[in-house]
Amino acid sequence: MDLLLAALCALWIAGAGFGWRVLRTVPVLSRQRPTQPPSPAPPPGPPGASRTPVLAILVPANDEAGDASSIAELRAAHASRLAAATRLAEANAAAGTGAAAPAVELIYIDDRSTDATGALLDEFAATAGTGAAVSVRTLHVRELPEGWLGKTHALQRALATLPAEGPGARAGAGSRPGDSPRAPRWVLFTDADVLFAPDALALALAHAEARGLEHLVVMPQLHPGGLLRDATLGAFGRLFGLMLASVNDPKSKASVGVGAFNLMRRSALARIGDMQRVRLEVGDDMALGALLRRSGARQGVASGRDLVHLTWYRSAAQIVRGLEKGIFAYGGRCEPWRLYLGAFALLVMELAPWIALARGPALCALGAAAIVLDVGIVAAGERWMGRRMLPALLVPVGGLIMAWAVARAGWMGARRGGVVWRGTLYPSAMLREAMAWEGGTRSGRRREA
């Protein structure tokens, strides 16, 4: 027993060291002043020739306008995206080529909304003006084809209007009359409620191009909430951060993806078949990052402190419910036993340092060191991301809540036989089959031809 406790406490201490490595190796984007502006678009060709935008921003939205507060948040997020896109277009023009106009295309996808979301997105497009450096348009998705999740289908629908990079490229299957024939060099996937600082896009593209990246993930700065909610986010971040330290290493196979800010080369997306292979991935952002990495795309991650902002759940209970689908389908591969085992392991890990405090001087010292270093590195991480440090004192409680979230996700998934998303049940067998990527499945079993 004492040997096990000592080993677990040693893991906590090692984990704190690993966390410090993350803070040292993942750059804070707002501190990375670009050595050069984003590469300008090629000069326009003859009159009537198609021009190439620098960036297309794809924003799927479903029932985002439920009340006055939600509408106000959607308007604020749109205004911030438009300001950041305009700043990028200005930087592109200042780079000195008769750059393409518009330099940035903002595409909203109304995914079968039943409230005023579609009308609001149409308003955004109508008020953008013509001839501006940023164009805004809205696509309306009325039906969901079988074998797709709503978000992945919405993004695929928008990508189908954007050809891959390269001469002679054509719009993808599913494009319609009036769809843009231009091929942006970069594509950004972001959520409808994400806020951007004016320099966010210009800094992100300059960072990606200066480092030769094809996929850049920017971790958003989460708005503060209650102490327990923020402590639970800290515990979640502690788990999520384990994968970040090696992402910026081009020799590593580690990958990451975040729905708030997934910036990708259009050609890299086309190389993996756009969204086809993640069409039923509940954790589509993470799966997309893994596929891009496996395809050879150079990947990077940066902190979006002061640049990319998001209110991500408003209470600990919302975190537990909100993470349920992703934990079950992506984390547990739709197999409840994996989550039960994982929840038990998390519980043991969280309790071990505290039990060690009562097991003699040597273990007491080891347990105390594990607790102090754990709380300390979480507090440092909170400060690194521009958040308050006080909730880190409750991160052990947040860890217990995360253990419960994992166990609950397994139980709910087993009870339902799959994942329920926006009123549709996706059976576990279907989701597991859709996890099969080229060369095999995430569980290691190869798909039969």
- pLDDT given at position 99: 47
Across 192-217, average pLDDT: 95
pLDDT tens figures, 368-385: 999 999 999 999 999 998
Task: Label residue 44 by pLDDT band (50, 70, 90).
Answer: very low
Distance from chain centroid for Cα 351:
30
Across 25-32, average pLDDT: 88
60/260 Cα distance (integer angstroms)? 11
Task: Label residue 49 by pLDDT band (50, 70, 90).
Answer: very low
Which residue type, as a one-letter code, is found at position 185?
A: R
Among 10-19, 158-167, 202-211, 348-357, the range scoring the smallest mean pLDDT is 158-167
Mean pLDDT of the chain: 86
Which residue type, as a one-letter code, is found at position 36?
A: Q
pLDDT tens figures, 101-114: 578 999 999 999 99
pTM above 0.85, yes or no: yes
* DSSP-derived secondary structure for 317-350: HHHHHHTHHHIIIIISTT-HHHHHHHHHHHHHHH
- pLDDT given at position 46: 44
Task: Label residue 128 by pLDDT band (50, 70, 90).
Answer: confident
- Give the containing element (helix H, strand E) for 108: strand 104-111
* DSSP-derived secondary structure for 205-240: HHHHHHTT-SEEEEEPEEPP--HHHHHHHHHHHHHH
Task: Label residue 422 by pLDDT band (50, 70, 90).
Answer: confident
Across 338-346, average pLDDT: 96
CATH of the domain spanning 25-318: 3.90.550.10
- pLDDT given at position 33: 65
Q: Is the pLDDT of residue 232 over 60?
A: yes
Of 344, 401, 403, the residue nearest 228 (C-alpha)? 401
- pLDDT given at position 40: 52
Task: Label residue 446 by pLDDT band (50, 70, 90).
Answer: very low
Residue 310, Ramachandran bin (φ over 0: left; ψ between -120 and 50: alpha; else beta): beta
pLDDT tens figures, 273-310: 999 999 999 989 999 999 999 999 999 999 999 999 99
- pLDDT given at position 34: 57
Q: Is the pLDDT of residue 331 over 80?
A: yes
* Sequence spans of domains, the chain: 2-21+327-434, 25-318
- pLDDT given at position 423: 74
Of 118, 113, 112, the residue nearest 142 (C-alpha)? 112
| Strands annotated E in 37-103 | 55-61
Q: Is the pLDDT of residue 14 over 90?
A: yes
